């Protein structure tokens, strides 16, 4: 009934809460929802694709983009720069799709200030132990790195109150359904359904 797009969803979670897997499923299962491809200065991981996961750029290029005011938001996370370009938002609006931003708590706060209509969701791990186990299960990180991430996670989790919605990722299927429900509810807001409703009324 309504496919005009233009909604911006923001999802944050501490590292290891399963956000990427949840978002991948949500994006695969809902139509007219696009993943916002951020710019970052960090190196691509083996399974990552330029232009699909991130636009990988040098620090010089990123800093030039900051100077040119080309970011809706940007932040330094784990020593690397990450940002959402204004162009990404403009393109989604032009293509009439909704946009899903995967940004950290600093980025979410900036989006909220600059775009109050954005709908924000925080994904919580079920417990510290669960997060610890997931971080260790990933491999490739030493104890100090895991302890550091758990410390950061604690600080990030404290900020859940700033978000419109909070979902606990106890079971991925349930978490995916809850995030999808938030999106579908936003799409049914009366303000967005006016044209559709008028179309129905016109048939009477
Ligand atoms: P990763 O390097 O593991 O892909 O992401 C690290 C963190 O950076 C995650 O918390 C992710 O949400 C965040 N992040 C990714 N893209 C952006 C962005 O464009 N802006 C901000 N502020 N954070 C981002």
Is 53 among the domain residues? no
Average pLDDT, the chain: 94
Is 114 among the domain residues? yes
Q: Whose CA is nearest to atom 23 of ligand 1?
A: 103
Ligand 1 atom at minimal distance to the Cα of residue 78: 6
Out of 77, 149, 155, 156, mutate this one to test ligand 1's pocket (max ligand atoms within 8 Å of CB): namely 77
Q: How far does the centroid of ligand 1 lie from the alpha carbon of residue 62, in Å?
A: 14
Is 86 among the domain residues? no
Q: Report DSSP letters for the chain, one per residue.
A: -------EEEEE--TTSSHHHHHHHHHHHSTTEEE--EEESSPPPTT--BTTTEEE--HHHHHHHHHTT-EEEEEEETTEEEEEEHHHHHHHHHTT-EEEEE--HHHHHHHHHH-TT-EEEEEEPS-HHHHHHHHHHH-S--HHHHHHHHHHHHHHHGGGGGSSEEEE-SSHHHHHHHHHHHHHHHHT-HHHHHHHHHHHHHT-
d(CA 104, CA 99): 16
Q: Which residues are 75's β-sheet partners? A: 82
Query: So what's the pLDDT on residue 78?
Result: 84
Query: So what's the pLDDT on residue 112?
Result: 97
Is 192 among the domain residues? yes
Q: Please report, for the domain that includes residue 193, its CATH number.
A: 3.40.50.300
Is 179 among the domain residues? yes
Q: Which residues are 158's β-sheet partners? A: none
Query: So what's the pLDDT on residue 2?
Result: 47
Query: So what's the pLDDT on residue 81?
Result: 98
Q: Which residues are 50's β-sheet partners? A: 54
The residue-averaged pLDDT of 5-34 equals: 95
Tell me the pLDDT band of 3, cut-offs 50, 70 and 90: low
Is 168 among the domain residues? yes
Is 159 among the domain residues? yes
pTM of the model: 0.95
Ligand 1 atom at minimal distance to the Cα of residue 54: 16
Q: How many domains does the chain have?
A: 1
Query: So what's the pLDDT on residue 139?
Result: 74
Tell me the pLDDT band of 1, cut-offs 50, 70 and 90: very low
Query: So what's the pLDDT on residue 15?
Result: 87
Its domain, for residue 140, covers 8-36+97-201
Out of 14, 18, 23, 38, mutate this one to test ligand 1's pocket (max ligand atoms within 8 Å of CB): namely 38
Is 158 among the domain residues? yes
The residue-averaged pLDDT of 118-132 equals: 96
Q: Would the CB of 156 count as within 6 Å of ligand 1?
A: no
Ligand 1 atom at minimal distance to the Cα of residue 38: 19
Per-residue pLDDT tens over the stretch 147-193? 988 999 999 999 999 999 999 999 999 999 999 999 999 999 999 99
* Share of residues in the chain with pLDDT > 90 (%): 88
Q: How far does the centroid of ligand 1 lie from the alpha carbon of residue 188, in Å?
A: 29
Per-residue pLDDT tens over the stretch 41-66? 999 999 999 999 999 999 999 999 99
């Amino acid at each position: 009934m309504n496919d005009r797009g233009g909604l911006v969803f923001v999802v944050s979670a501490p590292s290891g809460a399963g956000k990427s897997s949840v978002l991948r499923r949500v994006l695969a299962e809902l139509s007219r929802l696009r993943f916002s491809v951020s710019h970052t200065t960090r190196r691509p991981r083996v399974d990552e694709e330029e232009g699909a996961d991130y636009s990988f750029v040098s620090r010089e290029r990123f800093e030039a983009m900051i100077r040119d005011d080309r970011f809706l938001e940007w932040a330094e996370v784990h020593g690397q720069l990450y940002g959402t370009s204004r162009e990404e938002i403009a393109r989604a609006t032009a293509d009439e799709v909704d946009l899903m931003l995967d940004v950290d708590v600093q980025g979410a706060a900036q989006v909220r200030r600059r775009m109050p209509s954005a709908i924000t969701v925080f994904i919580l791990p079920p417990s510290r132990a669960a997060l610890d186990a997931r971080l260790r299960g990933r491999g490739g990180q030493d104890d100090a790195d895991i302890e550091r991430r758990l410390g950061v996670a604690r600080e990030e989790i404290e900020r859940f109150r700033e978000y419109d919605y909070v979902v606990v990722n106890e079971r991925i299927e349930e978490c995916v359904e809850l995030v999808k429900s938030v999106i579908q509810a936003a799409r049914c807001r009366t303000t967005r359904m006016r044209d559709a409703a008028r179309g129905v009324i016109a048939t009477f």
